[in-house]
Amino acid sequence: MAKGRFRALLIFVLGALLGTTGCGQAKDYPNRWVYMHGKPLENMDQVALIRKVAKTAAEHGLNGLVLDAFFDRIDMEPPYNYKNLQVIMQICKDNNLEFIPAVFGMGYNAPLLAHDKNLIEGLPVKDALYVVSGKEARLADDPPVEIANGGFEMAEAGAPANFTLNDNSGETVALDKTVAKAGSASLAVAMSKEYEEGEKLATQEVAVHPYRCYLLSCWVKTEGLEGSGDVFPMLVQAPDGRRLQYYIPPVPGTSDWVRAVIGFNSRGNDKVLVSVGTPAGKSGKFWVDELKIEEEGLVNVLRREGTPLVVRGEQSGIAYEEGRDFAPVSDPVMTLLFDHPDPPVTILPGSRIKDGERLRVSFYHNYPIYNGQTPACMSEPKLYEIWRKTARMVHEYVKPNKYFLGTDELREAGSCEACGKRGLNVAQILGDCVTKQEQIIRELNPKAELFIWSDMFDPTHNAPGDYHKGYFYHVDETFENSWNYIPKDLIMVCWNSGKRDKSLEHFQKNGFRTFGSCSGGPEGTRAWLEALDKTKGSTGLMYTTWSENFETLAEFGDIVNRKK
């Protein structure tokens, strides 16, 4: 026994001198992967890129390729796309790379919504006023909403009247009487410095109704802007500063007048802050004119059991019946943008609804986050029916031993009736969703290893209890404790580089194995390896750029294989 303890101590001391102790020991990781995404099933150029990346990965010691290729709609692919899938699988086989499909993209659900856009999570609109005229009921002013001096024709001390300017804007914001889309003036901004992300230049408080849908628009002229930024050209906030929209309308860096449009839900607020927001960069000019707000109706109305539509008489309180009193309501365009007219409520022959009657209409709608993110509702049974079908097809075509679950950045959840009726918080709803995801895979392959993005289960990332005053984007609560509601055999793919040590420590303490994800580059890769080496249960590292930039892939592979 004494000799055994001495030998163990000697090994520990020598290991410490050589930097190879169990605490920080350099490991040989079984999983050394590269991540790719896109639409290679329908794009041969992307197949060619996969061929190139696979060759580089293999030559530098990587052994797996994760492909996020819209597998949640694989049942809708035409026959030739399956041929591309076979080509991709053969590329991986030829390069001794394990092929790992990414499925169940909860958070970024565009592939899933190809089946049914009504599966998107919904925000409630309550008691919007509709007035019947003949055979239709249309949205009516209740009362009108407006932005004072939205044409920037009036000035006070050289600044636009009715607006409060950012104290940090200096002389960069002013009225320009030489440039205008309409009238004789516009708001001109000359960028002279780089503003903080989300900073606003000119703000006005506007009275609105709670839980209504609004359209905000303006005309923008640009000259030499470096980028659109996060809040350009418009930003809408609640009085406490909470953002009510995140969609970024496309505005070129240099352009004549273009119309920018965003939609938002007022939530529980009777006032909102409407602002002209800052673009990215510190150079260029832009002009804003005709800033307007108006209430919107049934644009992008969601029709599923968990997002009911109610039409009732304002005076009588009668809840009218769809199919008896009015025709089935839907948005046949349904772009999820505010780029088309709202559908009317069509009155049927023999309806109890009278001409001239005032109706109160409640429904659910939604709109994209940033450049098109559209999370689905985790409480709708149809979601899991689609996933069960697509997962079975992936299993039949690919027969993977490992799956990558795409749940991350879930910026909308828990706001529709389907979620509210469950009596669960969003962390529990998410946990139930991921548990069902695992069950679907286990029915097909009980021994499969399942990897999942970590951020929605990480208190150092997107699941802290104190995130933004207790909410997360459009979610009215946080995902705190979500990690307590998911299976422990999931392998957490950690990508919070700024807090990698705390992130890995959190999952280790809670009984999860881990896997790192970094964007490459020698310093970042070595930092991740150092953190993973100190973490019990770490299984490897993945090259992840979320783009088509693979310039440092070779160097990444050499470092992960301890060749550099």
Question: Cα–Cα–Cα angle for 57, 59, 60, nearest 5°?
Answer: 65
What is the pLDDT at residue 192? Answer: 84
The pTM of this model reads 0.93
What is the pLDDT at residue 481? Answer: 97
Q: How far apart are CA 239 and CA 249, in angstroms?
A: 23
For 336, residues 6+ apart whose C-beta sits below 8 A from its C-beta are 117, 120, 300, 366, 367, 368, 374
Distances (CA, A) of 63 to 55, 58, 67, 126, 306: 11, 7, 13, 53, 43
What is the pLDDT at residue 244? Answer: 97
Q: Would you tell me how many other CB atoms lie within 10 Å of the CB of residue 210?
A: 13
- E strands, 72-166, are 98-103, 123-133, 136-139, 155-156, 159-160, 164-165
What is the pLDDT at residue 205? Answer: 98
The alpha carbon of 469 is separated from its chain's Cα centroid by a whole number of angstroms, namely 20
Query: What are the tokens at 94?
Result: 């030829």
Q: How many Cα atoms occupy the beta-carbon half-sphere of 36 within 13 Å? A: 27
**Residues 546/501/560/526 CA torsion (nearest 10 deg):** 90
Residue by residue, pLDDT tens for the chain (564 residues) are 344 444 334 333 333 333 333 457 889 999 999 999 988 888 888 999 999 999 999 999 999 999 999 999 999 998 888 999 999 999 999 999 999 999 999 999 888 899 999 999 999 999 999 999 999 999 999 999 999 999 999 998 878 999 999 876 555 888 999 999 999 999 999 988 888 878 899 999 999 999 999 999 999 999 999 988 889 999 999 999 999 999 999 999 999 999 999 999 999 999 999 999 999 888 999 999 999 999 999 999 999 999 999 999 999 999 999 999 999 999 999 999 999 999 999 999 999 999 999 999 999 999 999 988 999 999 999 999 999 999 999 999 999 999 999 999 999 999 999 999 999 999 999 999 999 999 999 999 999 999 999 999 999 999 998 766 789 999 999 999 999 999 999 999 999 999 999 999 999 999 999 999 999 899 999 999 999 999 999 999 999 998 889 999 999 999 999 887
What is the pLDDT at residue 15? Answer: 38
Closest Cα to residue 450, out of 515, 378, 354, 499? Answer: 515
Q: How far apart are CA 301 and CA 535, in angstroms?
A: 48
Q: Classify burial at 17, counting beta carbons within 10 Å of its beta carbon; exposed 0-12, middle 13-18, buried 19 or more.
A: exposed
Query: What are the tokens at 459?
Result: 């208190």
491-494 vs 123-133, strand pairing mode: unpaired
So where are the chain's domains? 24-118+375-560, 155-295
CATH code assigned to 155-295 = 2.60.120.260
First to last CA, the chain: 40
Which amino acid is located at 354 in the chain? Answer: K
Question: Cα–Cα–Cα angle for 242, 248, 249, nearest 5°?
Answer: 135
Which amino acid is located at 323 in the chain? Answer: G
What is the pLDDT at residue 170? Answer: 57
Residue 10 parent element (H or E): helix 2-18
Domains 24-118+375-560 and 155-295 share a fold: no
Q: Specify the DSSP class assigned to residue 136.
A: E
What is the pLDDT at residue 193? Answer: 84
Domain 24-118+375-560 architecture: Alpha-Beta Barrel (3.20)
